[in-house]
Amino acid sequence: MTRLGDLERAVMDVLWDRGTGTGATVREVAEALRDRELAYTTVMTVLDRLAGKGMVEREREGRAWRYRPAASREAHIARLMLDALDLAGSRDAALVRFARSVTGTEAEVLRAALAGEADDTPASTDRPPAAERQG
């Protein structure tokens, strides 16, 4: 399970918010996180570690590297959810408990997905985006 620390998650959020096609250099990520007052080398180290974990892909762009998410935020979260189910004593019990905890709108999305009628494009939900929830 590729769990992310707080700083890794913040860096990934910058990359995910830019989209999988665009990516960013270390300097661009550091600028996006300027309110955290991180050293350039700190951001570079985090991106290097994320590359080692397979979370980001990188390619040379002049003298710098451009980093892109290896998968979408939604694909990452889905993988975490599946990994968490692997930890359950009973996958069925965990799924039932999860299903009972979702909102009405989320339950509709799950029903549509199970019926093959839903896509994985972001839709509005009752919950604010991650950046707003973190405060």
pLDDT digits (tens, 9 = 90+) for 12-41: 999 999 977 789 999 999 999 999 999 999
| More confident site: 124 or 13 | 13
Give residue 110's pLDDT band: very low, low, confident or very high (50, 70, 90): confident
Buried-exposed string 94-107: b where 16+ CB fall within 10 A, e elsewhere: beeeeeeeeeeeee
Would you give the end-to-end CA distance of the chain in angstroms?
A: 26
Give residue 118's pLDDT band: very low, low, confident or very high (50, 70, 90): low
For the cut 90, the answer to whether the pLDDT of residue 98 exceeds it is no
Report whether 29 contacts 67 (CB < 8 A).
yes
pLDDT tens-digit series, residues 48-95: 999 999 999 999 989 999 999 999 999 999 998 888 888 888 888 888
| More confident site: 117 or 107 | 107
Query: Can you read off the two tokens belonging to residue 59?
Result: 């390619």
Report whether 16 contacts 68 (CB < 8 A).
no
